[in-house]
Amino acid sequence: MHAVGGQPGCISSLRTHWRRVALSTALVTGLYGLAAMWTAPVYRAEATVIVSRPPAASMLLALAYGMPPESHLRLSEARLAAVLNSTTVVDEVIANLGLQTVYGVSNIEKARKVLRHSCDIVLDQERRMVVIGCRDEKRDRAREIVDQISSTASKVYGQLESATARRKRGLLDERLLAAQDDLDQATGRLNRFRAARGIDDLPAQIRETFAALVELETQREQLSIQLAYQETFSSQNAAGVRELQGQLVILDGKIRDLEGVSANDSPQAREQTSSGLLHVTEIPDLVAGFRDLERDRLVREQVRDFLSRATATARMTEARRTSKIAVLDPPTLPDRRLRPRVPLLVGAGVFSGIMIGVGWCLLPLWWRRQRWLVSLRMR
């Protein structure tokens, strides 16, 4: 703002009224200093906690569902952060330290709000830990609050893990009984199938059946050659020819009996020959049915074994009573005040004082200039 109409400019006004700038700077800085002196200091205590032993059942279930190996750790840390910020932990800390009287509030809801406002629960996913930070006007009390939160959360977390393990173990016990019942039914179906078809060792019986069929076919071929040879030298009614023909009829009957029976026979009768061997035509269906039943039994047995391992792990987890939370960095007595920050307040006071002084100098000049411009327009 330049000199106009005999009015001094900005620089000239500041040079003339520099005492105003100095006075305002001194006054505002002094006020900020008094505020820093009268403001109660606030200290901050911190602690770092981790899950010392993640539940083995959580790892087993995570692997069973195809989740990454570290996913159960993230779940445990998220649960730990939720426990640290839970109402149960907050209420017990308030009751143990008498914070409702310290904060001067009439009900527990306001005390919870004040405590949660003064404490921060930060979950560090990269380092897999939880940081607890609490602010208070007294250094000892800030550290005590952090200690109480970590110890109370450890107890609550252990109770939560035990209750979860009990529920999980009860659910696994029910599933294990159902799986065992399914396995018994599958085994019963397989045993009934084997008993109805006379199956002891299916591969060995198939090999015996085909070996018997090859032997009968070989004998029939030998008798056919002998019969053809006899017919060249003897008549059809010769005793030797009739004997060979009778033997061929018997062998043909045995081969037909081994290959299959007539359609009016029952399925159970067609499964075995009179000699106890399997029918060749029934072997594919017999093998398919046996494999289906055996596969069903094996699958149900694997399910039963998995549930048995999971149940045993859940029982061991339930039996353990040790704490699952470990304090990695315990809270120490804070020496440095979190606020008020005196250097920052002094700097803000100096800056504000200078700005007020500059405004004190320039506003009258601006006002006189506006009045001078208005008088010029009225002429």
Q: How confident is the model at residue 256 (pLDDT cuts 50, 70, 90)?
A: confident
Label residue 264 by pLDDT band (50, 70, 90).
very low
Q: Is residue 313 part of a domain?
A: no
Within-domain flag for 78: yes
- Of the given ranges (160-164, 233-237, 251-255), which has the lowest mean pLDDT? 233-237
What is the CATH classification number for the domain harbouring 193? Answer: 3.30.1890
- What pTM was computed for the model? 0.51
Instruction: Indicate if 64 and 86 belong to the same structural domain.
Output: yes
Q: Is 378 within the bounds of a domain?
A: no
Q: What is the pLDDT of residue 64?
A: 46
Do residues 45 and 162 share a domain? yes
Give the chain as a 3 state SS string: CCCCCCCCCHHHHHHHCHHHHHHHHHHHHHHHHHHHHHCCCEEEEEEEEEECCCCHHHHHHHHHCCCCCCHHHHHHHHHHHHHHCCHHHHHHHHHHHCHHHHHCCCCHHHHHHHHHHHEEEEEECCCCEEEEEEEECCHHHHHHHHHHHHHHHHHHHHHHHHHHHHHHHHHHHHHHHHHHHHHHHHHHHHHHHHHHHCCCCHHHHHHHHHHHHHHHHHHHHHHHHHHHHHHHHCCCCCHHHHHHHHHHHHHHHHHHHHHCCCCCCCHHHHCECCCCCECHHHHHHHHHHHHHHHHHHHHHHHHHHHHHHHHHHHHHHHHCCCCCEEEEECCCCCCCEEECCHHHHHHHHHHHHHHHHHHHHHHHHHHHHHHHHHHHHHC
Residues 29-58: pLDDT tens digits? 777 776 666 666 778 888 888 876 554 545
Question: 362 and 276, same structural domain?
Answer: no
Same domain, 290 and 329: no
**181 and 217, same domain (yes or no):** no
Count structural domains, the chain. 3
More confident residue, 95 or 256: 95
58 lies in some domain = yes
242 lies in which domain range?
Answer: 198-308
Residues 227 and 304 reside in one and the same domain: yes
- Judge if 71 and 180 occupy the same domain: yes
Residue 374 lies in a domain: no
Per the domain annotation, does 230 fall within a domain?
A: yes
For the chain, what is the mean pLDDT? 75
When pLDDT is averaged across residues 101-106 and rounded to a whole number, the result is 86
Where a domain ends, among 288, 308, 328?
308
Mean pLDDT of 167-183: 89
Query: Is 185 a residue whose pLDDT tops 60?
Result: yes
**Inside any domain, residue 152:** yes
The per-residue pLDDT for range 10-30, each reduced to its tens digit, is 677 667 777 777 888 888 777
Residues 205 and 121 in one domain: no
Same domain? For 135 and 251 the reply is no
Residues 122, 211, single domain; the answer is no
Do the domain assignments include residue 189?
A: yes
227/193 same-domain check: no
70 or 99, higher pLDDT: 99
Q: Are residues 58 and 183 in the same domain?
A: yes
